[in-house]
Amino acid sequence: MIRIWLLFLILSLPHELLAQQCGTNTIHKMLQQKGLWPQNKASHNTTSWPTDSIYTIPVVIHVIYATNAQNVQDLQIESQVEVLNEDYAGLNLDAILIPQPFKQFKSGDVGIRFCLASVDPQNNPTTGITRTFTQVNSFALNDEMKYATTGGHDAWPTDKYLNIWVCNLDGNVLGYAQYPGGPPETDGVVIYYKAFGKNGTAAKPYNKGRTATHEVGHWLNLQHIWGDDGNACNGSDEVADTPNQANSSSGCPVFPSISCNNGPHGDMYVNYMDYTNDSCMFMFTQGQKERMQTAIENYRPLMKNTSTNCAPLYQTIDYSTTIIPNPSTGRFMIKFKNAIPPTCLLQMFDLTGKTIYSYQVSGLESRYLNIDLGNVSNGLYFLKTEIAGKTYVNKLMVFR
Residue numbers at the binding site for Zn ion (CB under 5 A): 22, 24
Q: How many residues does this entry show for the chain?
A: 400
Burial call 278-315: b when 16+ CB within 10 Å, e when fewer: bebbbbbbbbbbbbbbbbbbbbbeebeebbebbbebbb
Give least dist CB 126 to Zn ion, A: 29
Give least dist CB 40 to Zn ion, A: 18
Q: Which is nearer to Zn ion, 20 or 315 (CB)?
A: 20
CA distance 64 to 62: 6
Q: Which is nearer to Zn ion, 22 or 220 (CB)?
A: 22
Give least dist CB 226 to Zn ion, A: 10
Tally of helices (H runs) and strands (E runs) in the chain: 6, 13
144 among known catalytic residues:
no
Evaluate whether 267 touches 258 at the Cβ level (below 8 Å): yes
Return the residue nearest Zn ion (CB atom). 22
Give least dist CB 224 to Zn ion, A: 5
CA distance 288 to 107: 8
Evaluate whether 181 touches 39 at the Cβ level (below 8 Å): yes
The helix or strand, by DSSP H or E, that contains position 292, with its residue range, turns out to be helix 286-299
Give least dist CB 24 to Zn ion, A: 5
Selecting among 78, 82, 86, 215, the annotated active-site residue is 215
Give least dist CB 141 to Zn ion, A: 12
Burial call 200-237: b when 16+ CB within 10 Å, e when fewer: bbbbebbbbbbbbbbbbbbbbbbbbbbbebeeebebeb
Q: Which is nearer to Zn ion, 61 or 191 (CB)?
A: 191
Q: Which is nearer to Zn ion, 72 or 225 (CB)?
A: 225
Q: Which is nearer to Zn ion, 22 or 202 (CB)?
A: 22
Positive or negative, the Cα torsion across 113, 118, 119, 120?
positive
CA distance 63 to 198: 16
Q: Which is nearer to Zn ion, 24 or 56 (CB)?
A: 24
**What are the distances in angstroms from CA 27 to CA 146, 171, 187?**
13, 14, 12
Which active-site residues does the annotation give? 215
